[in-house]
Structure 1
Amino acid sequence: MKVLKKLFYTSIIFIIISILAILWCNYTIESNTETFLTSSISKVPAEKAGLLLGTSKNLANGTINPYFKYRIEAAAELFLAGKIQNIIVSGDNSVKHYNETEDMKFALIEKGVPENKIFEDFAGFRTLDSVVRAKEIFGQNSLIIISQKFHNERAIYLAQKNGMNAFGYNAKDVNSQFGFTTNVREKLARVKVFVDLIFGVEPKFGGEKIIIP
């Protein structure tokens, strides 16, 4: 009986600590990035390059993924407004017949972005990889990150911790009901940010430098 009681209290303490850790991680990221985010294109500083963070083009039922659609629209809007001169499309290309990077590239071309202004990062498997590789592979210490607000917050925080000057342009978000799972996953991903920083986790792949003229 004593063992069960001890186990119960240990579990309660663990749950409380976990909740507090999640709340602290989320608060720290949001408070450190709030002044570097905007949904207004007029407030976006002009930069040489934008970093478009990848996601799947289609949902499991075959329909267009609204996260993808809105990110493409935001990136094209920035380029056509002259806020960025080039776009780094960074996504997952680890599985055959699944290529976030190519999907983003072709979608941007359809929106009027010239192909020679699009630079592909096929090793953007995680947000950490995308952000750090933008600096280490593509040579960008200052850039505009393009995704939904919740994603931009984490990406900008990672950029700050890697000595980069990053500003986020928030793509249109989806409704809370559709994005519930994504938002829950994001809360936990922010805890992983600090775990990665503590252990010095680096991108999975390096590679040759790519010059953006």
Structure 2
Amino acid sequence: MDLMQFFDMILHVDKTLGVLLAKYGVYVYAVLFAIVFCETGLVVLFFFPGDTLLFIAGAACATGELDYWILMSLLITAAVTGNTLNYWIGEAIGQRVFTHNYRWLNKDALHRTHDFFEKHGGKTIILARFVPVVRTFAPFVAGVSDMTHARFQLYNFAGAFLWVVSLVTAGYFFGNLPIVRDNLTLIVLLGVGAAVVPLALGGLYKVSRKMLSR
């Protein structure tokens, strides 16, 4: 298998996890750790699978192909350390990201996450775990915004714990049901919507209150 084939398998891990398990066995733990670490730790890899990976890995735990407790421990560690690296990179670069033209940085995603961060403050680090793309840029923006390290780590660990435990557990109990397995993409989108819609409604409520108070 060449590098491009392996990379394609990573991007479509919801369909290829069984193949990875057959080929690499216990080394799949390292692969899953690396995917979560890179998706949360490197803004250029925001397109890596996150929610789907956790869900389908939970389903693999239910069939005995992966160990539930080992998987959760590794993925929580990957999510926490990935976010920490992303925070440090943002802290090192600072406000230059808004004025310099970095080719490796998606400016639209950066500004969208910054606006999200401005509206919801520190809890963004927790909430963003359940929102693709925003999840990757949130710790970076926290570093750029000079959020204190102690405060960041509090939200960082809480968000990682909730994200990994909820999705891996959901996959464990429901991931092997035929109706769920056949409609996984739709279910993940609905899950993301369930996380995003309340935030959007809260934002609209605040905007409407400001407009009415004028």
Fold agreement, TM-score > 0.5: no
Q: Greater helix percent: which structure?
A: 2
Q: Greater strand percent: which structure?
A: 1
TM-score, normalised relative to structure 2: 0.26
TM-score, normalised relative to structure 1: 0.26
